Copies of this chain bind each other. A is one copy, B any other.
Amino acid sequence: MKPMTQQDATLTVNELLAPYAARCEEDLDRLLVEPDTPEALAEAMRYCVLGAGKRLRPALVHMAAEAAGGGPEDLVARAAAAVELVHCYSMVHDDLPAMDDDTLRRGRPTAHARFGEAMAILVGDALLTRAFGILAGAGHPRSARLGAELAAGAGPAGMIAGQVADMALCKVPDGFEGTRFIHLRKTAALFRAAARMGAVCADASGAVIEAMGGYADYFGLAYQVRDDLLDVTGDAGIIGKTPGKDADAGKPTAASRLGLDGARKLGEELTEQAVAALPPLGATTETLARLARLLTHRIH
């Protein structure tokens, strides 16, 4: 068998994600804007959410729910949309001048470059609040558990801790452990919430929920290692942002710590650890395994 090229992997991952992304786009379009939202705010919310992004986190919610036996359609849709809104808000706030000061994201002006800084802060706040509103609005007995998972992943011991650490605003362990500390929180914590929420939607056992979280932790670490590699080797036109920015900012990455080959090897190891951590649900977890392996070879 011919080894898979990076281009092949990218095409295949996009094919794998396409049906989930299409469904998520519809759900976001339907759920994003509440009645009585001022039009200028609604427009900024749509700009920051609709029509862009791989929808990887919502796909994880759907795939985990399917692997664990499936959940109520509306509940899964809302869980997926809520996770994506948290991801979108985090990008809007991370891009702010006081944070990473980015003006380009997914090949388009960032929120503050487009709408001004005040609106960017407020639209981030709006997306975060709306995420919890969408979850709570399911009116399902498991809505609150989903809210607790999302808050844990996105909150001050999860994703926000990662951004605080990435901005050097708190202590982190020395050396590569510090990089891992940041990646586990800044990137993996929301993947973890997504995979666990999918399992909660399907009313899975505690053991299955835990195993899904373990998968997502390794998945998230592998994803970030790949992101670091693309930051060094990627093409701005393909990855949609300026390559070399992290390296220029002096941020320690897997690539700067381990070299390109070392980082590639680490990414592959983490991917296999993710697959090994999957709950023993038989063939139903194949899509999650396939996604993890494909993403290790993606080019954007």
| Residues in B neighbouring A146, C-beta threshold 8 A | 136
| Residues in B neighbouring A121, C-beta threshold 8 A | 93, 96, 98-99, 121
Give the interface segment out of A12-20, A21-29, A167-175, A261-269: A167-175
Task: Decide if B132 touches A147 in the complex (CB within 8 Å).
Answer: yes
Task: Decide if A160 touches B41 in the complex (CB within 8 Å).
Answer: yes
How many chain copies does the complex carry? 2
Give the interface segment out of A30-38, A61-69, A236-244: A30-38
Known: A130-B156, A132-B151. A161 touches B37 (CB 8 A): yes
A4 located at the interface, meaning its Cβ lies under 8 Å from any Cβ of chain B in the complex: no
| Residues in B neighbouring A126, C-beta threshold 8 A | 155-156, 160
A283 located at the interface, meaning its Cβ lies under 8 Å from any Cβ of chain B in the complex: no
Cβ-closest chain B residue relative to A152: B133
Q: A40's contact among B89, B140, B171, by CB below 8 Å, is which?
A: B171
Tell me the smallest distance from the CB of A48 to a CB of chain B, in Å. 12
A138 located at the interface, meaning its Cβ lies under 8 Å from any Cβ of chain B in the complex: yes
Cβ-closest chain B residue relative to A33: B156
Task: Decide if B156 touches A41 in the complex (CB within 8 Å).
Answer: yes
Known: A129-B160, A133-B151, A144-B147. A169 touches B40 (CB 8 A): yes
Cβ-closest chain B residue relative to A148: B136
Cβ-closest chain B residue relative to A141: B141
Tell me the smallest distance from the CB of A136 to a CB of chain B, in Å. 3
Task: Decide if A155 touches B34 in the complex (CB within 8 Å).
Answer: yes
Question: CB-CB contacts of A87-121 with B at 8 A, as 1s and 0s?
Answer: 00100010010110000000000000000111101
Task: Decide if A35 touches B148 in the complex (CB within 8 Å).
Answer: no
A225 located at the interface, meaning its Cβ lies under 8 Å from any Cβ of chain B in the complex: no
Cα separation A133 to B189 with both chains bound (whole Å): 15
Cα separation A35 to B152 with both chains bound (whole Å): 10
Task: Decide if B38 touches A165 in the complex (CB within 8 Å).
Answer: yes
Task: Decide if A163 touches B122 in the complex (CB within 8 Å).
Answer: yes
The residues in A between 27 and 60 inclusive whose CB is less than 8 angstroms from any CB of B are 33-42, 45
Tell me the smallest distance from the CB of A159 to a CB of chain B, in Å. 9
| Residues in B neighbouring A247, C-beta threshold 8 A | none
Q: Which of A34, A136, A139, A161 is the most central at the interface, judged by chain B CB atoms within 10 Å of its CB?
A: A136
A-B contact pairs, 28 of them (CB 8 A): A33-B156, A34-B152, A36-B157, A36-B161, A38-B156, A38-B165, A39-B170, A40-B171, A41-B156, A41-B160, A41-B169, A41-B170, A93-B122, A96-B121, A98-B121, A125-B160, A128-B129, A129-B154, A129-B156, A132-B147, A132-B150, A132-B151, A133-B147, A133-B155, A136-B144, A137-B151, A143-B144, A147-B147
**Interface residues, chain A, CB within 8 Å of chain B?**
33-42, 45, 89, 93, 96, 98-99, 116-119, 121-122, 124-126, 128-130, 132-133, 135-141, 143-148, 150-152, 154-157, 160-161, 163-165, 167, 169-171
